[in-house]
């Protein structure tokens, strides 16, 4: 749980040379994922004896850091991914921010970092949008402002223990579709020789090290024409867990849907949770259970499994055409996106862009 915190006062130190309007408009025309950043960043400092303090909006720029800063040596780092959506009337919204705040707290707990109170998390998004709202693209071609809150161990000390000074920061980047191919089914590489998370490890925490652990397999996947990697359980390489940054769903011919159960090694995706709710709303059964690679191979080959999709904030919902490893290919690269996949994607993005009724009160207005 978050610790007791006196209300925080925000200071704004605005950039003396923000991006010229014309340059920003040019970037917003066709933003690449995570390549351009807005004019400001959020900084909130935590110290063991003071708690969270010094909350401010600062010009976007490098972090001045001592080479002995703990994060550089022991990887004490956590992050979140959340988007800001512009609606037709010009207002700016975000999706389930208190769920991201709660997950950041859980990640902090696991990585021995201080837990940022939910209120500061939500306020930090409002503060950033208050100064950089012009960076939220018009609602066309799935453009959004991708927001990256993160927390780092910022104590200058090489001893191995939880840092006594930490920084929470937020940066933001206008983005277009995550996969440049549009909603065309992607190919996924099955990691047979590397795992991202083990029992009682850090798989449930959104921490940089999990991503570092996934990159070797991802490079192998790229070399084999795949755009993401699927990880199996580390112990037996039998059960499907998730992709490097997305959760997985399997749609069966008889109508039910299955997704790997959260057993401590899988990231608790907020998109995953929302998709489960949307599927159940339709009266469709969702089974959260163990799913084996053997079951998926047999199901795709027999036609029992009719759709596979991945989901996460960055890529929303992405159809999967085939699963590949050095040993086999399951499914087909030119499969059409499945019916449920496409319709869930339309519903979820509709809720986010304010064109479909928000039955679950997921959207929070930022500006």
Ligand X SMILES: *Cc1c(COP(=O)(O)O)cnc(C)c1O
| Least distance from ligand X to the Cβ atom of residue 128, Å | 18
Under the criterion CB under 6 A, does residue 270 sit at the interface with ligand X? yes
Under the criterion CB under 6 A, does residue 267 sit at the interface with ligand X? yes
| b/e 50-83 (16+ beta carbons within 10 angstroms → b) | eebeebbbeeeeeeeeeeebbbbebebbbbbbbb
Residue whose CB is less far from ligand X, 203 or 354? 203
Residue whose CB is less far from ligand X, 124 or 202? 202
- How many residues bind ligand X, per CB under 6 A? 13
d(C-alpha 203, C-alpha 205), whole Å: 6
| Least distance from ligand X to the Cβ atom of residue 136, Å | 18
Cβ 244 vs Cβ 211: under 8 Å: yes
Under the criterion CB under 6 A, does residue 97 sit at the interface with ligand X? no
Residue whose CB is less far from ligand X, 227 or 271? 271
Identify which range of 128-136, 183-191, 263-271, 358-366 contacts ligand X by CB under 6 A. Answer: 263-271
Under the criterion CB under 6 A, does residue 271 sit at the interface with ligand X? yes
Under the criterion CB under 6 A, does residue 312 sit at the interface with ligand X? yes
Of 40, 83, 169, 206, which one interacts with ligand X (CB under 6 A)? 206
Residue whose CB is less far from ligand X, 222 or 298? 222
Residue whose CB is less far from ligand X, 165 or 269? 269
Of 97, 177, 245, 319, which one interacts with ligand X (CB under 6 A)? 245
| Least distance from ligand X to the Cβ atom of residue 242, Å | 5
Residue whose CB is less far from ligand X, 214 or 325? 214
Residue whose CB is less far from ligand X, 127 or 241? 241
| Least distance from ligand X to the Cβ atom of residue 269, Å | 3
Cβ 134 vs Cβ 122: under 8 Å: no
* C-alpha closest to that of 196 among 218, 227, 220, 225: 218
β-partners of residue 108 are: none
Of 51, 59, 75, 81, which one interacts with ligand X (CB under 6 A)? 81
| Least distance from ligand X to the Cβ atom of residue 81, Å | 5
Under the criterion CB under 6 A, does residue 246 sit at the interface with ligand X? yes
Identify which range of 18-26, 86-94, 243-251, 283-291 contacts ligand X by CB under 6 A. Answer: 243-251
| Least distance from ligand X to the Cβ atom of residue 75, Å | 15
Under the criterion CB under 6 A, does residue 354 sit at the interface with ligand X? no
Under the criterion CB under 6 A, does residue 232 sit at the interface with ligand X? no
Of 38, 76, 218, 313, which one interacts with ligand X (CB under 6 A)? 313
How many angstroms from the chain centroid is the CA of residue 9?
28
Draw the binding track, 140-159, toward ligand X (x: CB under 6 A; -: no contact).
Answer: --------------------
Under the criterion CB under 6 A, does residue 107 sit at the interface with ligand X? no
Under the criterion CB under 6 A, does residue 315 sit at the interface with ligand X? no
φ, ψ at 104 (rounded to 5°): -60, -40
CA atoms within 13 A on the CB side of 250: 28
| Least distance from ligand X to the Cβ atom of residue 315, Å | 9
Where on the chain is the footprint of ligand X (CB under 6 A)? 81, 206, 242, 245-247, 267, 269-272, 312-313
């Amino acid at each position: 749980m978050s610790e007791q915190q006196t209300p925080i006062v925000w200071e704004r130190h605005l950039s003396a040379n923000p991006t010229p309007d014309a340059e920003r408009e040019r970037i917003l025309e066709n933003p690449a994922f995570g390549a351009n950043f807005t004019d400001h960043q959020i900084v909130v400092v935590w110290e063991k004896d003071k708690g969270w303090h010094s909350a401010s909006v600062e010009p976007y720029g490098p972090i001045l850091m001592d080479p002995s800063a703990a994060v550089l040596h022991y990887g004490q780092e956590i992050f979140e991914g959340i988007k800001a959506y512009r609606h037709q009337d010009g207002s700016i919204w975000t999706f389930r921010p208190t769920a991201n705040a709660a997950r950041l707290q859980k990640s902090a707990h696991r990585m021995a970092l201080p837990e940022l109170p939910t209120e500061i998390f939500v306020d930090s998004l409002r503060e950033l949008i208050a100064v950089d709202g012009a960076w939220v693209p018009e609602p066309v071609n799935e453009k959004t402002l991708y927001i990256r809150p993160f927390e780092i161990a910022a104590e200058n000390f090489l001893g191995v223990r939880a840092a006594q000074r930490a920084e929470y920061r937020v940066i933001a980047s206008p983005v277009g579709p995550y996969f440049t191919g549009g909603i065309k089914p992607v190919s996924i590489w099955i990691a047979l020789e590397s795992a991202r998370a083990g029992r009682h490890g850090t798989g449930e925490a959104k921490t940089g090290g999990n991503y570092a652990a996934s990159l070797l397999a991802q490079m192998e996947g790229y070399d084999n024409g795949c755009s993401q990697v699927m990880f199996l359980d580390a112990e037996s390489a039998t059960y499907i867990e998730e992709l490097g940054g997305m959760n997985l769903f399997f749609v069966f011919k008889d109508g039910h849907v299955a997704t790997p159960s959260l057993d401590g090694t899988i990231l608790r995706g907020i998109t995953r949770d929302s998709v489960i709710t949307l599927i159940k709303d339709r009266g469709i059964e969702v089974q959260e259970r163990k799913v084996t690679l053997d079951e998926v191979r047999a199901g795709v080959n027999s036609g029992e499994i009719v759709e596979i999709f991945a989901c996460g904030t960055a890529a929303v919902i992405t159809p999967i055409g085939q699963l590949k490893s050095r040993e086999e290919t399951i499914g087909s690269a030119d499969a059409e996106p499945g019916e449920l996949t496409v319709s869930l994607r339309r519903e979820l993005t509709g809720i986010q862009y304010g064109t479909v009724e928000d039955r679950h009160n997921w959207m929070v207005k930022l500006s």
